[in-house]
Amino acid sequence: MNQYNNQVRSNRRKTRSGNRNDAGKNGFLSVLLFYVLPFIVINGLIFFLVTSRPKGEITIGESSDYISTTMELKIKSLLPVNSMEVALNGSPVEMTKTGFKTYSAVLKSNGTLAVKLTCFNKMKTVLDEQVDVLDDTPPVIKDNIVENGILSFRLEDSQSGVDYSSISACDEDNQDIAPLSIDRSTGRVTFELIKDNLNITAKDNIGNELHVTITPQGESIEEEETPDVQTEDQAES
């Protein structure tokens, strides 16, 4: 056997070995591409569809009049949301669609805003946001002083402000007593304290009303709010 024949046989063996290696690689790639990867992708997609929860973002706007404000809800889920329930302090809020996956509503009271989103796969998400930009409290009296029969105090309202034209007082004999002086820059108000107690009334600029009784010692006794008759009837029923 000559050298040429040896080289041919050696090349044949190498070619057969290379073909077997290529066939093995091709078989592995086929299994990976047509079985393993589709299995991973399909099961991952199923897991995502089954377990994905809806997502949203709530934005509470500023209030220019302290009476009402707006809220905006943006749905940030890739999957469709089947139902949406919005409530403020337990009362339903009517939503208006303003854009793609964007909704808005007008709010007229402070409290807890709850948004319940339900995805098509029955998964739920509850979003909570506190609304506190509206003015629902009356002015407050501070720094009460009684000297030589003159009552002096400060009125404060951190939101809509004090309506100084609404300040008045009454006692047992006089139903309409005007202040002796009002300093709007400091909120300082003075009254002549004639009788034992003086009943002070004041409003803020959107109508929240303060009722307080000042004693001769300068102590303030705020009146309790009268319960709503309709609320009482509903409670009794």
The residue type of 95 is M
pLDDT tens profile 150-200: 999 999 999 999 999 999 999 888 888 999 999 999 999 999 987 778 999
pTM reported for the whole predicted model:
0.68
Q: Average the pLDDT over 66-71 and give the result.
A: 95
Compute CA 136 distance to the chain's CA centroid, rounded to the nearest angstrom: 17
Token reading at 89: 């302090």
The residue type of 11 is N
CA dist 96 and 129 (Å) reads: 18
> Which residues lie across from 72 on neighbouring strands?
59, 104
CA dist 175 and 169 (Å) reads: 7
103 near 95, Cβ under 8 Å? yes
- The continuous run of DSSP H or E covering 6 comes out as helix 3-31
pLDDT band at 223 (very low <50, low <70, confident <90, very high): low
The answer to whether residue 2 scores a pLDDT higher than 70 is no
The answer to whether residue 67 scores a pLDDT higher than 80 is yes
User: Could you write out the DSSP letters of every residue in 92-108?
Assistant: E---EEEETTEEEEEE-
CA dist 61 and 23 (Å) reads: 66
Compute CA 135 distance to the chain's CA centroid, rounded to the nearest angstrom: 16
Average pLDDT, the chain: 82
CA dist 79 and 55 (Å) reads: 9
The answer to whether residue 22 scores a pLDDT higher than 60 is no
The answer to whether residue 16 scores a pLDDT higher than 70 is no
CA dist 168 and 176 (Å) reads: 7
pLDDT tens profile 113-151: 999 999 888 889 999 999 999 999 999 999 989 998 899
Residue 197: predicted pLDDT? 87
Residue 234: predicted pLDDT? 37
**Alpha-carbon distances of 126 from 69, 111, 123, 220, 235, rounded to whole Å:** 21, 16, 11, 43, 29
Of 38-42, 96-100, 212-216, which range is least confident? 38-42
pLDDT band at 79 (very low <50, low <70, confident <90, very high): confident
Residues comprising the chain, all counted: 237
Burial of 86 (0-12, 13-18, 19+ CB in 10 A): buried
203 near 139, Cβ under 8 Å? yes
pLDDT band at 226 (very low <50, low <70, confident <90, very high): very low
Q: SS in 3 state form for 12-73?
A: HHHHHHHHHHHHHHHHHHHHHHHHHHHHHHHHHHHHHHHHCCCCEEEEECCCCCCCCEEEEE
- Phi, psi of 81, rounded to the nearest 5 degrees: -100, 120
Residue 37: predicted pLDDT? 72
Residue 163: predicted pLDDT? 96
